[in-house]
Amino acid sequence: MRVGIDVGGTTVKVGFVDGKNIVYDYEIETKGGNLFEKVFENVCAFAKEKNIKIDGVGIGVPGHVENNYITKLPNVGLENFDIALCAKKYFSDDIVIKSSNDANVAALGEAVYSNIPSCFMVTLGTGVGGGMVKNYKIVEGAHYSVGEIGHMVIDLKHNYQCTCGLKGCLETVSSATGITRLAYEYQKDYRKSSIDFSHLTAKEVVDNAKLGDELAIKVLKEATENLGRALASVAVCVDPEAFFIGGGVAKAGDFLIDMIKHYYKEYAHFAVKDIMILPAKLGNKAGIFGASQLVEMGE
Amino acid sequence: MRVGIDVGGTTVKVGFVDGKNIVYDYEIETKGGNLFEKVFENVCAFAKEKNIKIDGVGIGVPGHVENNYITKLPNVGLENFDIALCAKKYFSDDIVIKSSNDANVAALGEAVYSNIPSCFMVTLGTGVGGGMVKNYKIVEGAHYSVGEIGHMVIDLKHNYQCTCGLKGCLETVSSATGITRLAYEYQKDYRKSSIDFSHLTAKEVVDNAKLGDELAIKVLKEATENLGRALASVAVCVDPEAFFIGGGVAKAGDFLIDMIKHYYKEYAHFAVKDIMILPAKLGNKAGIFGASQLVEMGE
């Protein structure tokens, strides 16, 4: 079996994958340092207990990793860390160890799971992230920035300040944060809105939009119009077979996907108008499944 | 030697290439049909006369070609045409025959000539075209639309109608046509402009901008700001090592390139801010040189 490891800020998800089946999966708490040591030791113990032969280990990390080397990963407290060197202590040399950025890994997972060799994955969460897969291989780019479409300058109307330093980035309006920001922006114009601003989340906006709340609908239209226009631009740059939409906000389901599709078609060049826009299917298992597929990916 | 063939609407350019040197190059008139037959016959005769051993033949065509098969190429009057089948009549089976879209071929030419394995080429002409090369291989995309950034919807200010059916496409403001369109737009606000509107071309605008004409400068600022912002978006999609700027408008030289760089840096995410923006170096020989490199490209 292949092992897929999804490294997060507070927990690490581990999966044992056979073909397209996640046979076992569990989470490990990772407080107090030595993250990779703890995880690898745990994986070896679990494999021994269940009598599993490990064919390879793939790892998704929340940041930049190059040839299994992490220069800096502040959100998990790692610096100048060689994953492969650490893995040598736990696995024999013939076991492939591969790692990549978590957004890319999720894209690879969706591609393999859906049998779509070349796709572009968009994650709508606190920010807007993305990753690209071509012929079942992750495309990294010269600065490991392929797919970072959250920082396309797309909204010159509000031109909100982004955390990256730019203004008008896609994620200032189309992420979960962007959706709540837009709700505040228009709050005073819609006194009758049912949105509960004392507990404002993107989900609160989506839920109210589904019930027909005018403010919520206005906000989601603007968020998805910007996203649809951005994806139409992405399409003439990279021309994927499909877009996958994942991340927390995407849990809104077809309601949101249909809005994105609507605006995508409005702004897409005829040659790329029929690119599929699909909900990501793996949910929070995209990380472990995608990571397990790194093993297969080759160079 | 490798042969590079650049098929155009009225003439076909032919080059015999040894390493990075174009040893011979010439143009053939191609009126009256049987384009490929005439060109291949000519190439064989030329090679025989000069005692040249041909290693392979690469062809750039102005449109879509797939596995050496042209479905439709209205500007050169070809339909359902098999380039490889035609080539068989003139070349022995061991000679590689390869073809691709001319924008992609030009991108490949610049990449190889400049030793930059992964680049994105933008051609500023009547429209705005582009092509992408990754590890010295052309990236085609699912609908052969990679690099068609002329149809990114980028200018919501004027929202000009584009020939493609959309509004606000990059090429409505940043192509040669776009530059003259913007000059007309602002003409009435700049009565003292030296631009000769009876012979209005993009070159006329650029020449006047170089002399300090305020209208011309306003127009070029707007054209290059839109282009710079578009390229900043392209950068977070595909993250190339360099952008090459070619096509007729790019003959304006560093004056224009510097403006594009300025706006690119204004809109580019920090991770991709240092991507090089370079003038294309091969001029109208990018087609033949790039085509000759198709032979090396492999699958």
Q: Is the Cβ pair B234, A237 closer than 8 Å?
A: yes
Band of residue B298 on the pLDDT scale cut at 50, 70, 90? low
- Contact list, B225 vs chain A (CB under 8 Å): none
Q: Which two tokens stand for residue A175?
A: 């992420």
Q: What is the model's pTM? A: 0.92
pLDDT at B154 over 50: yes
pLDDT of amino acid B109: 96
- Contact list, B237 vs chain A (CB under 8 Å): 132, 146-147, 149, 152, 233-234, 237-238
In degrees rounded to 5, what are phi and psi of residue B123? -110, 120
pLDDT at B192 over 60: yes
* B154 contact A CB<8A: yes
Q: Is the Cβ pair B152, A236 closer than 8 Å?
A: yes
Residues 235-264 of B with CB under 8 A from A: 235-241
Cβ-based neighbours of A188, under 8 Å, separated by 6 or more: none
Q: Is the Cβ pair B145, A240 closer than 8 Å?
A: no
The interface predicted TM-score of the complex, written ipTM, equals 0.92
> Which tens digit of pLDDT belongs to each residue from B273-293?
999 999 999 988 999 999 999
Q: Which one of B142, B146, B236 has the shortest CB-CB distance to A152?
A: B236
Q: Which one of B146, B230, B241 has the shortest CB-CB distance to A142?
A: B241
* Rounded distance between C-alpha atoms, residue A259 and residue A262, angstroms: 5
In order of B175, B224, B225, the CA distances from B220 in angstroms are 11, 6, 8
pLDDT at A63 over 90: no
Residues 95-124 of B with CB under 8 A from A: 118
Quick check: A107 and A131 in contact, CB under 8 A? yes
Band of residue B297 on the pLDDT scale cut at 50, 70, 90? low
Band of residue A298 on the pLDDT scale cut at 50, 70, 90? low
pLDDT at B9 over 80: no
- The residue of chain A nearest to residue B273, with distances taken between CA atoms, is A143
Taking CB atoms and an 8 Å cut-off, how many pairs form between chains A and B? 126
- Contact list, A238 vs chain B (CB under 8 Å): 139, 141, 146, 237-238
- The residue of chain B nearest to residue A141, with distances taken between CA atoms, is B239
pLDDT at B51 over 90: yes
Band of residue B299 on the pLDDT scale cut at 50, 70, 90? very low
* Rounded distance between C-alpha atoms, residue B252 and residue B217, angstroms: 13
Q: Is the Cβ pair A267, B153 closer than 8 Å?
A: yes
Cβ-based neighbours of B299, under 8 Å, separated by 6 or more: none
Q: Is the Cβ pair B240, A142 closer than 8 Å?
A: yes
* Rounded distance between C-alpha atoms, residue A111 and residue A105, angstroms: 10
Span A140-158, mean pLDDT?
95
Band of residue A10 on the pLDDT scale cut at 50, 70, 90? confident
pLDDT at A14 over 60: yes
Q: Which one of B148, B229, B275 has the shortest CB-CB distance to A236?
A: B148
Shortest CA gap B13–chain A (Å): 28
Single-letter residue type at B130: G
Mutate to test the interface with A, among B104, B158, B167, B236 (most CBs of A within 10 A): B236
Q: Is the dihedral of CA B180, B264, A163, A107 positive or negative?
A: positive
- Contact list, A267 vs chain B (CB under 8 Å): 153, 166
Q: Is the dihedral of CA A163, A164, A165, A170 positive or negative?
A: negative
> Which tens digit of pLDDT belongs to each residue from A152-194?
999 999 999 999 999 999 999 999 999 999 999 999 999 999 9
Containing H/E element for A58? strand A56-61
pLDDT at B97 over 70: yes
pLDDT at A299 over 70: no
